Structure 1
Amino acid sequence: MSSSYDVRFWEVRRNQSSKTASYEVRWKVGGRQKSKTLRTKALAESFLSDLRQAAKRGEAFDTETGLPVSMSKTKNTITWLTLVLAYIDMKWPHSAAKTRDSLTDALATVTPALVDENAPGRPDELVLREALRQYVLPPASRQLARPAGIAAAVTWLERHSLPVAELAKVRNVRLGLDALTTRLDGGAAAATTIARKRSVFYNVLQYAVDLEELTSNPIDKVKAWKPPKVREVVDRRVVVNPAQARELLAAVTYAGRLDRGRHLRAFFACLYFAGLRPAEALGLRIQDCHLPKSGWGHLVLSKSKPQANKRWTDSGEAHDDRGLKHRAQDEGRPVPIPPELVTILREHVDEFGVHDDGRLFRTSRGGVISIGTYCEAWQKARALALMPEQVLSPLAARPYDLRHAAVSLWLNAGVAAPEVAERAGHGVDVLLRVYAKCIDGGVEIANRRIEDALSST
């Protein structure tokens, strides 16, 4: 095997000879031109970076393979960290802020576990997590100046991240799965958190299959590890009846400083009487509302304003401007609203007007109301409206429980499931699964039918 220290590199370029997108890395070793084509630009740039770093370290390059000694041992492999960055770059532009938050949270949990177990000098877990969440995973943060401790942690990860090929081994995949079950403080993670992070882990491994770095998803081979059961149904103890809902809406007017409580009354009423999600109510505009002087009105929802950390939004604002959940972009959702809500919304507009863009609910400066603000007012309203034992119970513990109460009311009133699903923005199968325990009368009807059958001659 001959080797050379005479190495030259070119920038990554798009492969013009292929109909599908791919990128070419080109370099010369001892005058002999070498190239490697990869499916994504991120993978290509990472491979080129590995070559350049080897050259800076003074490594000799094999003239046959074109690879430095350190990479010849793992020819044609990429690391887990490289794969993760490519996956994020692929998903990021089309993901909502909360999805980006969830992606980086999951991958900052699993990535430190997928390293050489014999690697010396492992950084502190909190430092590794900060390095990934704040500097490595978000694309816009990768060019930020890194404190010395963070830079050292990133270098350690880059050097010791497992080759993706090693994840074909079940024992290595289990390292990632086991990491998902534990919080940073050593406590057990919640079942919903484990399920969410496992889904991200699975999808990144599937991406490796798509890139032909793995022949199949290795998680499917893990038989002895099972994710904990996640409760999908709504706890009927959170559901208020109409009288309790009205008491709470009245109590809200006394909660909060100045007129904040009165302003929020209509916001909470939209959750109960129209079954809106909080983010949908925050995006509600006067042009979306038909509010006649008498009778039923209707809303045509088209916008949602979910809250997330500014780091994850494209705008740099705390609230994303998004379309509706489970709907195509710009697809609206019509929601008929009863006369009681029509009256409340008309009173709200008369007293508070609307923002320049038509929004009904906003801060005193025209901003979007934060989760902390309306949750604080809600807790004060619960203390005013409910009995002491009810305050300590799950009853309407969160504003979102008003939506649960609305959907439960519609189902128990006998409204057909497809109509309820349309109004709530659910699929029918999800609706019936989630609200199965909130439908009254099923046991009594079944018992009566069985009794009638037993008594028949």
Structure 2
Amino acid sequence: MNTTYDVKFWEIQRRKDRKTLSFLVRWTVDRKAKSKSFRTKGLAESFLSDLRQAAKAGEASDVTAGLPLSMLAAEQPAGPTFLEFAQTYVLSRWRTSAARTRETDVYGLLSLVADLPNRPPDGDMRELLRSHALLPVDRRPELPHALVSVLAWLQKASLPLADLQDPRVVRAALDAISVTFTGKDAAANTVRRKREVLHHLLELAVEQKELSANPLQAVKWTPPKAAATIDPRTVVNPEQARALLAAVPAIGRTRGGRLHGMFACMYYAALRPEEAAGLRRQNCGLPEEGWGLLTVEKARPQANKRWTNSGETHDLRGLKHRAKDDTREIPIPPVLVAVLRTHIDRYGVAGDGGLFRTSKGRPFSSSAYSAVWQEARRRALTAEQVASALASRPYDLRHAAVSLWLNAGVPATEVAKRAGHSVDVLLRVYAKCIEGQRGRANRQISEALLQ
């Protein structure tokens, strides 16, 4: 520890450059400027008095912290800071989490900091957390020079984890996750995911005896209600789906043609985009006539390279909500069998049997296939439909498929099996997309009224 007796003090400064009035105590330690702000003048005067008394008593001060040794010991937090425990939390979940889950965890963690001078821009702090501070040590790139001071400030300003036992701090954290970076209300699903991350972090703190109880339970705070069902306005009918798929092959030099089969799998087999991206030739039973069979065993979700195990943008993962080596069999109609046979004849397969890849043999990025999809919408739909939510995302093809099966009278148990849902989730999520329920209900009520 580097100490000195060279300490000088300045008068308290009243600050009006912030949203709330504050009072700044300024002093120097070994000719290095130090400062600390307080919300009231009384607190500022008390702190300055403690500094003066320690210097008058001949007490040495720590050059780095700028405090007399007695005050430095008193200010040391009991237990980790929020930043330190956030690093522990991310590391504890890293090995067993998918890349997108790792990304969600880090994006859901905010910086709980004290109101110290020289606060860096919020954007710089977010960049530091996501690209360096909240990654495992062996994954951290070299810290850019511009972020060195940001890290130093954040380490100094991060609140002790124990401060979350104060309901006011917890409420401030919940309020922070409820708005976007521009101060607008965040989407309900975003708020829900971020609260889940905070909840899991605090549960780990309880498990590791850093907190006696999860402080979220002591705060009466209601998150915005998130939609739990599919919006029927996004679901295309069979004629619209055929028109959209027919428009895809003509887009670009070869990109549309290479993606046609992938989109067809989303509609005719209700595959998720990452499941279609992970489909291989050995997963496809494609007879010359009649129905075929897809055996889905892997998904290839996209994420930033910093989150994946392979260091590539796509990792091979097991199926969503399934055991590691579980598979799902999906009978496919002759129209999809024909599409896939044509695709394989025209473009072949990758070394591992993968079906859908770029002309350079790489998996398609979500931005690439989304751009093709938007162009297909412009070619196949009316201007009014293009401006609407109708099939606004490739994922909506899956919704259209499941809705079609339910409306065709396929038992919910069979639809759930093919789509990879539980029956409960299936009926809850797609309740608004099942046509004919209102008419049947009205007839039943009319019959009852006549009795």
TM-score interval, smaller chain: 0.7 to 0.9
Are residue 115 (structure 1) and residue 113 (structure 2) matched? yes
AA aligned opposite 1:202: H
Letter in 2 for 1:304: A
Aligned with 1:94: secondary structure? coil
Instruction: Show the counterpart of 1:337.
Output: 332
Task: Indicate yes or no: 2:437 matched with 1:435.
Answer: no
Shift of 1:299: 0.6
Match of 2:432, as an amino acid? K
Matches within 5 A, 1:193-208: 193-208=190-205
Partner of 1:311 in structure 2?
Answer: 306
Aligned residues: 391
Structure 1 residue 71 displacement after superposition = 4.7
Q: Which of 364, 370, 373 is 1:369 aligned to?
A: 364
Please give the secondary structure, in 2, of the residue aligned with 1:120.
Answer: coil
- Change in CA separation of 1:143 and 1:397 when aligned onto 2, cut-off 3 Å: closer
Q: 1:251 aligns with which of 233, 244, 247?
A: 247
Cα distance, 1:142–1:420 mapped onto 2, change above 3 Å: closer
SS of the residue corresponding to residue 256 of structure 2 reads helix
Cα offset, 1:143, TM superposition: 5.2
Change (3 A) 1:142 1:309: closer
Paired with 1:101 and 1:408, the residues of 2 have a C-alpha distance of: 31
State the distance in 2 between where 1:90 and 1:191 align: 27
Q: What's 1:85 paired with?
A: 87
Quickly say closer, same or farther: Cα 1:454–1:218, change in 2 above 3 A: same
Tell me which of 124, 127, 132 is aligned to 2:124.
Answer: 127
Matches within 5 A, 1:11-90: 70-71=72-73, 76-90=78-92
2:330 counterpart SS class: strand
The residue that corresponds to 1:39 in the other structure is none
**Partner Cα separation in structure 2 for residue 323 and residue 301 of structure 1:** 10
After the TM superposition, which residues 100-179 of structure 1 pair with which residues of structure 2 at under 5 Å, given as runs? Answer: 100-107=102-109, 110-111=110-111, 114-117=112-115, 119-140=116-137, 144-179=141-176
Does the 8 A contact of 2:65 with 2:72 survive in 1?
A: no
- After superposition, the C-alpha distances for 1:339-393 in whole angstroms (9 at most, x for unaligned) are 1111111111122111111011111111101111111111111111112211111
Give the letter for the 1:295 counterpart: G
Please give the alpha-carbon distance, in whole angstroms, between the structure 2 residues aligned to 1:278 and 1:344: 17
Give the C-alpha shift of residue 141 in structure 1: 6.5
Task: Return closer, same or farther for 1:141/1:131 CA change in 2, 3 Å cut-off.
Answer: farther
Residue of structure 1 in register with 2:47 after alignment: none
- 1:241 maps onto 2:237 in alignment: yes
Aligned-pair CA distance for 1:57? 6.9
Equivalent residues in 2 for 1:207-246 (5 A)? 207-223=204-220, 225-246=221-242
- TM-superposed CA distance for 1:187, in Å, is 2.4
Paired with 2:319 and 2:385, the residues of 1 have a C-alpha distance of 33
Contiguous gaps of at least 5 residues in structure 2 = 4-61
Partner of 1:413: 408
Cα distance change of structure 1 residues 87 and 194 upon mapping to structure 2, 3 Å threshold? same
1:264 aligns with 2:259: yes
Aligned counterpart, 2:389: 394
> Which string of whole-angstrom CA distances, capped at 9 and with x for unpartnered residues, describes residues 52-72 of structure 1?
xx89879999xxxxxx96355
SS of the residue 2:185 aligns to: coil
Aligned partner of residue 108 in structure 2, secondary structure: helix
Aligned to 1:96: 98
Partners of 2:270 and 2:256 in 1: CA distance: 20
Equivalent residue for 1:11?
A: none
Q: Secondary structure at the match of 1:99?
A: helix
Provide the residue aligned with 2:21 in structure 1.
none
Looking at structure 2, the residues matched to 57 and 163 of structure 1 have their Cα atoms a distance apart, in angstroms, of 16
2:187 alignment counterpart? 190
Task: Report if aligned partners of 2:163, 2:169 keep a CA contact under 8 Å in 1.
Answer: yes
**1:243 maps to amino acid:** E
- Equivalent residue number for residue 14 of structure 2: none
Counterpart of 1:78, as a letter, is: P
- CA distances 1:226-277 after superposition (whole Å, capped 9, x unpaired): 111111211111111111111111111111x222222221111100000000
Match of 1:20 in 2: none
Q: 1:399 to 1:296 in 2, by over 3 A?
A: same
TM-score (normalizing by structure 2): 0.82
Q: 1:295 to 1:273 in 2, by over 3 A?
A: same
2:350 maps to 355
- Percent same amino acid at aligned positions? 51
Q: Distance in 2 between matches of 1:443 and 1:143?
A: 56
Q: Secondary structure at the match of 2:250?
A: coil
Q: CA contact under 8 A between 1:136 and 1:142: conserved in structure 2?
A: no
Distance 2:159 2:66 in 1: 23
- 1:9 corresponding residue in structure 2: none
User: Judging changes above 3 Å, is the alpha-carbon distance between structure 1 residues 88 and 197 closer, same or farther for their aligned structure 2 residues?
Assistant: same
Provide the secondary structure at the position in 1 that maps to 2:148.
Answer: helix
RMSD of aligned Cα (Å): 2.1
Contact 1:135 1:141 in 2 (8 A): no
- With over 3 angstroms needed to count, the CA separation of the structure-2 counterparts of 1:144 and 1:362, relative to structure 1, is closer
Q: CA deviation at 1:115?
A: 2.0
Write the mapping of 1:270-309 to structure 2, written as runs, cut at 5 A: 270-309=265-304
Quick one: distance in 2 between partners of 1:142 and 1:361? 30
